[in-house]
Amino acid sequence: MATDLRLPTHKIVHPDKDRFLNEENPFEAMMSRFDRAAELLDLEPGIYQVLRNAEKQLIVSIPVQLDNGNVEVYTGYRVLYNTSRGPAKGGIRFDLQVTLEEVKALAAWMTWKCAVVNIPFGGSKGGVVCDPLKMSVGELERLTRRYTAGIISVLGPDSDVPAPDVNTNERVMAWVMDTYSMRVGHTVTAVVTGKPVEMGGSLGRREATGRGCMLVTKEALEHLGMPVRGTTVSIQGFGNVGSVAAEMLEREGCKITAIGDRSGCIYNPGGIDVVDAIKYVRKHKTLEGYNNGDPISGDELLTLDVDVLLPAALENVITSKNASKVRAKVIVEGANGPTTAGADAILDEKGIFVVPDILANAGGVTVSYFEWVQDRGGYFWSEETVNDRLRDIMTRSFRDVLSLSRQHKVNMRTAAYMLAISRVSTVHKLRGIYA
């Protein structure tokens, strides 16, 4: 895919360009990056207006009868940001911190993420405001099915395809698929991805995001002339993404010197035995009590003197307040939005090479695309085939973004947004505006 963008000569009016940026508002942070890339692309004003607005935003009330007989009403969201390149694609999260602004930002990020790796999806996201850790399996199932019924008008393999996200998993996707299938009267495996292999899930899907992080880390190290073997890595977040990335980077010869989750963080300059840590977490659910290293704070983990920092947990952990203390040479964003817009310039000034989230963690949606393709065709691939095709897409996408970064003398994040926006805007121009 050529990346020598031929830029038009239009003038964009940015209605909110001079407003004060709340760097912890995820949608404002996303839009500030979008505006920067759109300005460099000299994006046509009409297309600019289309791309800065979500196509659909749903808010649904979800009454659930609890095990004790009481009825609780939860709030759910589903945002389809853009579907010009194909069906919307995006996860569903269950969390007390879910807001419409967050869901809208994540849907936009999914739009750009799918475009960066050039898969034929648009972007969406969903969430329910709840505390799943305090709910029984039965309550979670009733919540999931009623939420699915509430948003079913937008769901479908040709319109909007959910996947797991924060506090959701294969079982939740199975409930979504079953609810949708019962409504339409036949089994539709392609309506969700990230479901159990036994019901149409893809081999390699669970490891895909972490594997993608490993692949782009290796590409970044090669670009910077740094050897993979012996590279020191600290990883914030030891769930599915962080633990898989840690294990695979260790296998490649990296030394994982710090890991952490919500229960605590540990540091071992000699290297942590990642396989042992994963076994511990499988048994105890968190890293709490794991003693293969010295306890450190979450803030300390982010500012260790390491080669690579891989934030793979929360949004807004690297901000204008702590970015100047970050000492890693490379940041690979395994989480969505771990770096605020206010921190970008500080990291640039420090010469830190950042592989942005819309590229770094795109392995998950790429293999979700593979799962959708396999379901649609009724023909399933070996895990080796899945991993080989993932490697091809992630490495090619990294090199596309790097090429654009060099061509326009911008950082990797801006280049990734430029590439994504150019691909989405091209389709809008070709399709025109329906009237």
Active-site positions read: 125
Q: Determine the Cα–Cα distance for residues 107 and 87; give it in Å rounded to an integer.
A: 12
Alpha helical stretches, state H, 292-382:
298-302, 341-349, 357-360, 363-377
CA-CA-CA-CA dihedral for 146, 92, 277, 391, to nearest 10: 140
Element (H, E) at 107: helix 100-116
Residue 350 is encoded by which pair of tokens?
């420090």
Q: Determine the Cα–Cα distance for residues 80 and 90; give it in Å rounded to an integer.
A: 9
Element (H, E) at 403: helix 383-408
- Give me the amino acid identity at 401: V
Closest CA to 394 of 160, 204, 230, 161: 204
Determine phi and psi for 418, rounding to 5 degrees.
-60, -45
Helix (H, G, I), strand (E, B) or coil at 317: coil
